[in-house]
Amino acid sequence: MGDLGDSTGFSLRRLGLTVYLPATVYSVGHSSILPVVAVSAVQLGASLSAGGLMVGLIGLGQVAGALPSGSLITRFGERTAMLLATALLVPALLVAILAPSVWALGAAVFVIGLAAALWGVARQAYMTEAVPIAMRARALSTLGGVSRIGSFIGPFASAAVMVFLGTSGAYWVYTVCAIIAGGLLMLLPPIAHDRRASAPPVRLRDVIRTHRRTLGTIGTGALMISVMRVSRQTVIPLWGTHLGLSPTTLAVIFGISGGVDMLLFYPGGAIMDRFGRRAVALPSISTLAVAHALLPLASGTASLTLVAILMGLGNGLSAGVVMTLGADASPATGRAQFLGAWRLCADLGNGAGPLLISAIIAAASLPAAVLTMAAVGAAAVTTLWRFVPHHRPPATPG
C-alpha cells in the first residue's frame, strides 16, 4: 500500500487495531442485515412494498441522527460517542430478532440507522483530530476502503449463518460484530483537543449559520457525489435485468466492479495528499459520470461488465473524497457539529439517489434515468471545480 508514514513519524499502522479493524468489523455487521430486512418484514406480515420501505428506515435513521450526533460528540467525545452507538445498537438488534410485529421491527431498524449515524460522524471526527493533515486523505480513504471491504464480506457472512439460524442469523452476525467492534474501541487512545474547557459551548445552529456557504457549495457537491455512488448500485442491476441477464451473471458483474473498487482506495488518498483534493475528486466523479453516459450503449454481458468496471474505477478512487473534503472544511471550534451537518449532506444524497431514479423511470424510462445521473455527475464536477481549493491543505492547521 505504499508509504504508510510521513515525516512527522505518524503511521497509519497505529490505527489498524483501534480504528480500521473496528470499522471493518462494524461494516461486516451492518451490511449483513441489508439483504434481509425486507424479508423479515414480509415474514411478519408486511406487503412487498412495505418491506421495501422498511429498508429505507435505516437511511431515514441516519438522516435523523446526523445533526444530533455532532452535539453528542462535542459533549462526550468521539470514543464515548461510538461506545454509546454500540450500546444503542445491540438492544435494537435484539428487538429486531424478537420483533413480534412489523412496527417493532421498523422501530428497531430506525434506531439501527441512528446508531450508524453516530458511529460514522464520531469516527470521522476522531480521524480528523488524530491524523496529521499531511496524511489526512490517505487515512480517510483507507477508512472508506476497509469499510467497503467489510460491506463486501457482510452478506456472505450472514448467508453462512442463516443456513443454521434462519433470517435471524443475519441480525446475530451484526450483534456479534457490534460487540467486537465496541470492545476494540476500548483500546482507542484519547486525543488532545485544542478546544478550551472554559470556552462556552458552541450551538449547532450557530455552526451551521457560520458555515452555511461551505455547506451550500462543497456540501452540495458531496450530496451529488453520494447520489452518483448509490446510483451505481441501482442502475447496473436494473440495466442487466433490462438486457435479460440472469441474477447469477449480474452478481458476477457486480462482484468484478466491487473488486476494482476495493483495490483503489489507498492510491486515491495518496494522490490527494500529494497533489490536492481536486486531483482525485474531479477525475473520479468524471469517470462515474462518463460511465453512466455509456451505460445505455451496453448491449450484452461484455459491454455491461466494461461499464461496471469503469464505475468501480471511479467509485474506488473517490473512496475518501467526501470525508476528506468535510474534514478539510471543518472548523476547530464546532468541528463535530459541522461534521454532523456534513454527514447529513451525504446521507441525503444516499437517500435521494434511488428515489430520483425510480421517479424518472416511472415518468420516462430507464435510459432517461441513467442519463440524468450522468448529468448529476457533470454538475458535481462543475461544483467541485468551482469551490474546492486547487492547492493542498497546509501541513499544519492555521
CATH number at residue 223: 1.20.1250.20
103 and 143, same domain (yes or no)? yes
Backbone phi, psi, residue 11, to 5°: -130, 140
Evaluate whether residue 45 is within a structural domain: yes
166 and 231, same domain (yes or no)? no
Evaluate whether residue 267 is within a structural domain: yes
54 and 183, same domain (yes or no)? yes
Residue with cell 457549495: 217
Long-range Cβ pairs for the range 87-93 (8 Å, 24+): 87/182, 88/114, 88/115, 88/118, 89/115, 89/174, 89/178, 90/175, 90/178, 90/179, 90/182, 93/171, 93/174, 93/175, 93/178
Contact 279, 317 (CB under 8 A): no
pTM of the model: 0.86
> What distance in Å separates the CA atoms of residue 223 and residue 384, rounded to the nearest whole number?
11
Tell me the residue type at 18. Answer: T
251 and 359, same domain (yes or no)? yes
132 and 251, same domain (yes or no)? no
Evaluate whether residue 8 is within a structural domain: no
Domain span at 288: 202-398
Tell me what pLDDT residue 307 has.
95
> What distance in Å separates the CA atoms of residue 281 and residue 271, rounded to the nearest whole number?
10
Evaluate whether residue 5 is within a structural domain: no
72 and 183, same domain (yes or no)? yes
Among 191, 215, 250, the domain-final residue is 191
> What distance in Å separates the CA atoms of residue 14 and residue 12, rounded to the nearest whole number?
5
Question: Exposed (0-12), middle (13-18) or buried (19+): which is 57, by Cβ within 10 Å?
Answer: buried
Evaluate whether residue 10 is within a structural domain: no
Among 163, 191, 219, the domain-final residue is 191
122 and 266, same domain (yes or no)? no
Tell me what pLDDT residue 277 has.
93
Evaluate whether residue 196 is within a structural domain: no
C-alpha cell at 147: 469499510
Tell me what pLDDT residue 199 has.
52
Closest CA relative to residue 316, chosen from 109, 149, 125:
149
Q: Count how many domains the chain has.
A: 2
365 and 291, same domain (yes or no)? yes
Evaluate whether residue 253 is within a structural domain: yes
213 and 172, same domain (yes or no)? no
Question: Exposed (0-12), middle (13-18) or buried (19+): which is 384, by Cβ within 10 Å?
Answer: buried
C-alpha cell at 229: 455512488
Q: What is the pLDDT along the chain (398 residues), one digit of tens a residue?
A: 445 555 456 777 888 888 899 999 999 999 888 878 888 888 888 876 677 678 788 888 999 999 999 989 988 888 899 999 999 999 999 999 999 999 999 999 999 999 999 999 999 999 988 888 888 999 999 999 998 898 888 888 888 899 899 889 999 999 999 999 999 988 888 766 544 444 566 788 899 999 999 999 999 999 999 999 888 888 888 898 889 888 778 878 878 888 888 888 889 999 999 999 999 999 999 999 999 999 999 999 999 999 999 999 999 998 889 999 999 999 988 899 999 999 999 999 888 888 888 889 888 888 999 999 999 999 999 999 999 987 666 554 43
187 and 214, same domain (yes or no)? no
Among 159, 191, 223, the domain-final residue is 191
Contact 66, 341 (CB under 8 A): yes
Evaluate whether residue 92 is within a structural domain: yes
Contact 270, 319 (CB under 8 A): no
183 and 263, same domain (yes or no)? no
396 and 264, same domain (yes or no)? yes
The C-alpha angle 342, 347, 348, rounded to 5 degrees, equals 100
